[in-house]
């Protein structure tokens, strides 16, 4: 049985919950993700919950919204702005993430 995983932003105001720790994460090199330094773990939208004060940032094609803590500014997730079934959590926020055993997939496309 898989165990849910939890995390939080730096100040603790935003709390995250996902069904399990990721087996792999994506290091995206698009123009915004490389600045955020996030490692994205993908889940179905309905599997992820986060609570607390967040602000949204939407840019470019406007098909995803980045959620950041309204207090400390940590980017905690992105969610689709349409019917796309997946979202991503910044795995760096998850407690117990061991990067020595998680596969890091590097996405080199920097066009975004």
pTM of the model: 0.90
CA-based nearest residue to 85, from 40, 42, 25, 45: 45
Residue 87 · residue 80 · CB < 8 Å: yes
> Each residue of 24-54: pLDDT tens digit?
999 999 999 999 999 999 999 999 999 999 9
Domain 5-107 adopts which CATH fold?
A: 2.170.150
Q: List the end-to-end C-alpha distance of the chain, in Å, as a whole number.
A: 37
- Examine the pLDDT at 61 and tell me if it is beyond 90: no
Residues 97-110, mean pLDDT to the nearest whole number: 88
Beta pairing partners, 18: 5
Residue 26 · residue 112 · CB < 8 Å: no
- Examine the pLDDT at 107 and tell me if it is beyond 80: yes
- Examine the pLDDT at 111 and tell me if it is beyond 80: no
Q: What is the mean pLDDT of the chain?
A: 93
Distance, CA of 7 to CA of 105 (rounded, Å): 21
């Amino acid at each position: 049985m898989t165990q849910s995983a939890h995390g939080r932003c730096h100040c603790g105001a935003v709390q995250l919950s996902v069904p399990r720790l990721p087996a792999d994460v994506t290091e995206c090199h698009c123009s915004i993700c490389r600045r955020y330094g996030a490692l994205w773990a993908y889940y179905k939208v309905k599997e992820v919950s986060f609570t607390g004060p967040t602000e949204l940032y939407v840019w470019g094609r406007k098909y995803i919204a980045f959620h950041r803590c309204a207090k400390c500014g940590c980017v905690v997730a992105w969610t689709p702005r349409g019917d796309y079934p997946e979202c991503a959590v910044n795995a760096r926020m998850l407690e117990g993430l061991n990067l020595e055993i998680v596969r890091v997939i590097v996405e080199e496309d920097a066009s975004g």
